[in-house]
Structure 1
Amino acid sequence: MKKFELQMFAEPVAGKKIIYLFRIMKNAASAAGAQIAFVTENGRTKSKDADSTATKDGSIRTPGTSEVEITCTSILAKGDTLIDELEDALDNDDLIEIWEANLDEKASDGENKFKGMYFQGYLTELERTSNAEDMVEVSTTFGINGSGKRGNVTVTAEQQAAADYVFRDSVKTGA
């Protein structure tokens, strides 16, 4: 049997290269997707329950519907309006759009396009934690409708810069 060394060519994706953009759906005509400031961790969980039925030949499994949750933990930035908008959306049951973009995988159909996914759902939990020794931390959980759709996500140069340093030359940039 011939063994292929496919792992030799694989490169890991750094966590800071996966970013999330959020927008209240009713604001789609007036606002673009925006990042939450000072994100320390994001997560996306997909799960599915399955029922088991006993038969004379052994049990059979019937899969249920998949459920998706997206989480975000960040340090609260002074003057952050996005967290306030998301909290209002929680109170008002407003639908939220979420884009997940992998900045390590550029798409071929545009300069600022990256491989990603699109989701719609509701903010189901928001927690602000403030202890005496640390910065204020905000944790959010979004319950997603459906399972999301794969596609290419536009991430502006400013949003990319917020996710990582961008090279700047040493020449003057203006007045």
Structure 2
Amino acid sequence: MEAIQGKKIVYLYRLLSEAATADGAALAFTTENGRTKSKEAESTATKDGPVRTPGIAEAELTATSILAKGDTLIDKLEKALDNDETVEIWEVNLMEKGTESDEGKFKAKYFQGYLTEFEVVSNAEEHVEVSLTFGVNGNGVDGYATVSEQQQEIANYVFADTHKTGA
């Protein structure tokens, strides 16, 4: 067993409307990402004690980054919030490579959802920080995402892409 460092889990984003023309991209200067699943349950009192009925699972993804000058991805994501546009999100584990049939790919989870919260914090003594929260449709799908060698190197520093899905 080997522990996975946080920087080896990268999140890539793309507007679904740009799937045929744009690569997925990472936020510049990401400091933290998170994925949360939750499910509420209702209790019904019975003579034998409470019976719990599980509700529907909900997932949220979060990202925090330092705002980069000229960051067009942040601008696109903010407009996606305003216009209720679907966003694609990949959670890629760079520590787990694909098999021979998935060469150049890494274990990933794929999600579609909406940006539900966008926050910019500008402290007088620190860099401007952007925090994002995405509400996920469904539970996401497991698979393998393509990440080139160049993208892997870049992901260790600032930025990474995934390949286009169409012409």
Instruction: Provide the rounded CA distance (Å) in 1 between the counterparts of 2:51 and 2:86.
Output: 37
Deviations 1:79-112 (A, max 9, x none): 1100000000000000000001000000113332
User: Is 1:105 equivalent to 2:96 in the alignment?
Assistant: yes
Task: Name 1:48's counterpart in structure 2.
Answer: 39
Task: Name 2:51's counterpart in structure 1.
Answer: 60
CA contact (8 A) 1:35 1:159 kept: no
Task: Name 1:13's counterpart in structure 2.
Answer: 4
Task: Name 1:74's counterpart in structure 2.
Answer: 65
Match for 1:160: what amino acid?
Q
Instruction: Provide the rounded CA distance (Å) in 2 between the counterparts of 1:85 and 1:14.
Output: 29
Any stretches of 5+ residues in structure 2 without a counterpart? 158-167
Q: Which has the higher contact order (CA 8 A, sep 6+)?
A: 2
Deviation at 1:127, TM superposition (A): 0.5
Deviation at 1:154, TM superposition (A): 1.0
User: Is 1:115 equivalent to 2:143 in the alignment?
Assistant: no
Moved more, 36-45 or 152-161: 152-161
User: Is 1:86 equivalent to 2:71 in the alignment?
Assistant: no
TM-score scaled by length of structure 1: 0.87
Task: Name 1:134's counterpart in structure 2.
Answer: 126
Deviation at 1:157, TM superposition (A): 2.5
Instruction: Provide the rounded CA distance (Å) in 1 between the counterparts of 2:36 and 2:60.
Output: 5
Counting matched residue pairs gives: 156
Deviation at 1:164, TM superposition (A): 2.1
Q: Secondary structure at the match of 2:52?
A: strand
Instruction: Provide the rounded CA distance (Å) in 2 between the counterparts of 1:129 and 1:88.
Output: 18
Task: Name 2:162's counterpart in structure 1.
Answer: none
Instruction: Provide the rounded CA distance (Å) in 2 between the counterparts of 1:157 and 1:11.
Output: 22
Task: Name 1:155's counterpart in structure 2.
Answer: 147
Task: Name 2:165's counterpart in structure 1.
Answer: none
Deviation at 1:48, TM superposition (A): 0.4
Deviation at 1:162, TM superposition (A): 2.0
Instruction: Provide the rounded CA distance (Å) in 1 between the counterparts of 2:69 and 2:54.
Output: 45
CA contact (8 A) 1:45 1:69 kept: yes
Structure 1 segments, 4+ long, off by >3 Å, are none
Higher-Rg member (1/2)? 1
